[in-house]
Chains A and B, each alone.
Chain A
Amino acid sequence: MNEQHQDQAPPPQRMRVSLFVTCLADLFRPSVAFASIKLLEQAGCEVTVPLQQTCCGQPAYNSGDYESTVPLAQQVIALLETADYVVVPSGSCAGMICHHYPKLLQGEWRDRALKLAAKTFELTIFLKDIARIKPQFDAPPSTLSVTYHDNCAALRELNIKEQPRQLLQQLCGIKVNELQQSEVCCGFGGTFCAKMPEISGKMTDDKLNHVIATGAKILTGGDLGCLLNIAGRAQRQGKEIEVRHVAELLCGDMDTSPIGEGR
């Protein structure tokens, strides 16, 4: 879905973007949304935030409560469908809109879902491939030691792998110190982590072991769900790693405390 856009003609001068903040960024980490706005503006976009937004419906949907998800999906579609582009700073929420709304809905709503899906993008793929944010060729090599966690939905539903890494390199001079087993789930899985906490904890430990093995000081990624989970487990296990959303790193926001750290 996203690939077809890569071959299109250069984007018009000023792209009008609606930001879908996602409920986790809205509630737990507004800095992610502010960083996203800053990056989109830096890429030359005109950003609006539709004020009636709440949640994309993943919690109910993943639990199989399709009846509760349908009206929520319709609400999101009606809210966002007039935008030129919709950008989401989360792989799983973008995946929900792009892949699962069309599966969930039927008839006219399915058509509207497909139209919205065609112009909805996860933040890093949008910055890199659609808005083509200008690389900072003179960005000096960063002293930050960073590793990247691939969110499963971004990786497998949206084909996002290189984009955030290239952005970190081109905008901040950060070379990602790669994780072993980077394509394996971190154990979050939405309600899974609370329904089957012990199994989830083991999976997160595996992920953390790989994170620690890289020697990186900062773990970043494109999805707050995974990051809240990994940060929470690291803190419980006394493992020292700073967890920050990739949007925050990309716009150079190091003043905000890392996830789960006090001031």
Chain B
Amino acid sequence: MEQHSDTFLANASKALKNSGQAERRDKIGLLAPQIRAAAIHSFDGFDELRQHVKEVRQHSLNNLDYYLSQFEKEAVQNGNQVHFARDSEEFNSLILDICQQHDARRIAKGKSMVTEETGLNSFLQGAGLNVRETDLGEYIVQQAGETPSHIVRPALHKSANDIRELFQQKHDLGARKLDKTSDLVVEARNVLRKDFLQAEVGVIGANALIAENGYSMLVTNEGNGDLCANLPKVLIVCTTIDRVLPRAEDASAMSRLLARSATGQPQSCYTSFYSGPRREGDIDGPLETHFVLLDNERSNILSSDYREILECIRCAACLDHCPIYTSVGGHAYGSIYPGPIGSVLTPLLTSLEQSHLLPNACTSCGRCAEVCPADIPLPDLLRDLRHEEGIKKLSPQRWRYGLKLHAWLARHPPLYQTLTAIGIRILHRLGRKRGRFSRLPFADGWTSQRDFPAPQENTFMQLYKAKMKQNNER
């Protein structure tokens, strides 16, 4: 997985200076929570459903081998071919092999975070194939040569104007009016229609795999997934091994949480179940179908203390509700999984060495855990990663030693109280007139952005002890 999370602070700094994008992110931070809250408010029993789905997900993950085998058996029986890929390399090669077996040159792709994770597009393009993203957001991002900045809304960082300029430049369609947002949508639809019809292979993702019948479920709002699945001769469904659920009703229960949490809809516009290749008598559908199921560290995560992160249903509510995500945007994280979920997942999928800053991009405000439809304790997992960061000595030395010194002092109350009394007295003397400091040695992190309030004259403990003494003498 390609990433540049080690430069998170510089990426964030750059993002904060882009005022146009910052304004749009502020708007998302304001609107998305309101839209979600309205959807949940009008749905009786969200919390009960959340609890139910969590139990189902836990059960599935506890019995992952059983349900994966059942899924494989059922899917093969339906005429599918099922492949397991250990890592990105195996995953990409498997898909290239399938394409080459069919002499395919053109691939129509639906939205799939898993293929973003493995870098499938550039791999296939490197082998001379033409890959077309067909989800509108993904299409825009692909045309711009960028990566998604949000799990559900990939082109969130682009304004209508950015997209207008991009289309003028990339679509050779002469002079035309693209004033309205709907003009842009219509143009993308027309351009993409040709790609759907010409593609020899369709690649889509899956929101769930259903063990009892070997089906996969996909939710979209544009219907592009269904065109990718039904028009080309060959269909490849890409997902990870942790997506399997026991029953069809479990997938439908999950989809009710997903749509409300992701976009505030009671149900996405298209919810499709894919069973396998065209059967005799079917009027359309692919002739050959494959499932490619990626592990890429999931087995290891399953046996670690972070296993709850596998219960994520990829709704991105934690992004929309995270004040750090809405401040700096997805690209700053340097990983295709940004926000709270990404700050847990990225170090687990790659290495903490490369991405230890991400778990620090958190104030423990708890809003992500509050809205997470999978009830994942994200702030706890992020803090556990910071724990590991400390053990591996990846955090700055002065922070580690500073905090240890503070904790040690706090365990020696008489010494702590004597030293703080002296320190506070000095700080008070220096700062009493103005009431604050613009600069303080050892506190540059604080004073780079804000004044440091000067303390009142004495510590409480000093004052309180003096008062008690006075009372006793009386």
Contacts and interface: CB of A to CB of B under 8 A. Distances in A.
Contacts of B407: 55, 57, 59-60, 65, 68-69, 72
A192 B367 contact: no
Interface stretch (B47-55, B284-292, B396-404): B396-404
Given A30-B458, A184-B323, A232-B453, A55 B410 contact: yes
Contacts of A263: 432-433, 435
Interface in B327-364: 327-328, 360-364
A88 B66 CA distance: 50
Given A195-B399, A201-B449, A262-B433, A23 B410 contact: yes
Given A72-B407, A235-B450, A30 B413 contact: no
B443 interface: yes
Given A199-B16, A232-B446, A30 B380 contact: no
Residue with the greatest number of chain A CB neighbours at <10 A, chosen from B366, B407, B452:
B407
A158 to B, nearest CB: 11
Interface string B367-388: 1011000000000100111111
Contacts of A260: 435-436, 451, 453-454
Given A23-B410, A199-B12, A199-B328, A236 B449 contact: yes
Interface in B447-474: 448-456, 458-461, 463-465
B422 to A, nearest CB: 12
Contact of A185 (B365, B413, B438, B465): B365
Nearest to B415: A54
B6 interface: no
Given A55-B406, A232-B450, A187 B456 contact: no
A107 interface: no
Contacts of A235: 436, 450-451
A262 B432 contact: yes
A203 B322 CA distance: 11
Interface in A152-207: 152-153, 156-157, 181, 183-185, 187-204, 206
B410 A25 contact: no
A228 B363 contact: no
A55 to B, nearest CB: 4
Nearest to B446: A194
DSSP class of A's interface residues: helix, strand, loop or mixed? helix
A236 B438 CA distance: 8
Given A64-B388, A152-B366, A54 B413 contact: yes
B434 interface: yes
B408 interface: yes
Interface stretch (A45-53, A111-119, A124-132): A45-53
Interface residues of B, number: 73
Contacts of A63: 386, 390, 395, 399, 403
Interface string A8-49: 000000000000010101111111011000000000000001
B424 interface: yes
Contact of B420 (A27, A195, A196): A27
Interface string B203-233: 0000000000000000000000000000000
Contacts of B12: 196, 198-199
B13 interface: yes
Interface string A58-95: 01111111101101100100000000000000000000
Interface in A206-237: 206, 228-229, 231-233, 235-236
A261 interface: yes
B9 interface: yes
B364 A64 contact: no
B411 interface: yes
A28 B437 CA distance: 13
Interface in A222-260: 228-229, 231-233, 235-236, 256-257, 259-260
B390 A203 contact: no
A201 B410 contact: no
B157 to A, nearest CB: 16
B395 A62 contact: no
A5 interface: no
Contacts of A21: 460-461
B436 A202 contact: no
A175 B420 CA distance: 37
A64 B386 contact: yes
Interface of B: 9, 12-13, 16, 22, 26, 29-30, 323-324, 327-328, 360-367, 369-370, 380, 383-390, 395, 399-400, 403-404, 406-411, 413, 416-417, 420, 424, 431-436, 438, 443, 445-446, 448-456, 458-461, 463-465
Given A34-B460, A153-B364, 9 more contacts: A26-B460, A51-B461, A68-B404, A185-B367, A187-B323, A193-B449, A196-B324, A202-B22, A235-B451
16 contacts: A27-B424, A31-B456, A60-B403, A64-B386, A65-B400, A66-B387, A75-B411, A156-B366, A181-B30, A184-B29, A185-B323, A194-B446, A197-B446, A197-B448, A203-B363, A260-B454
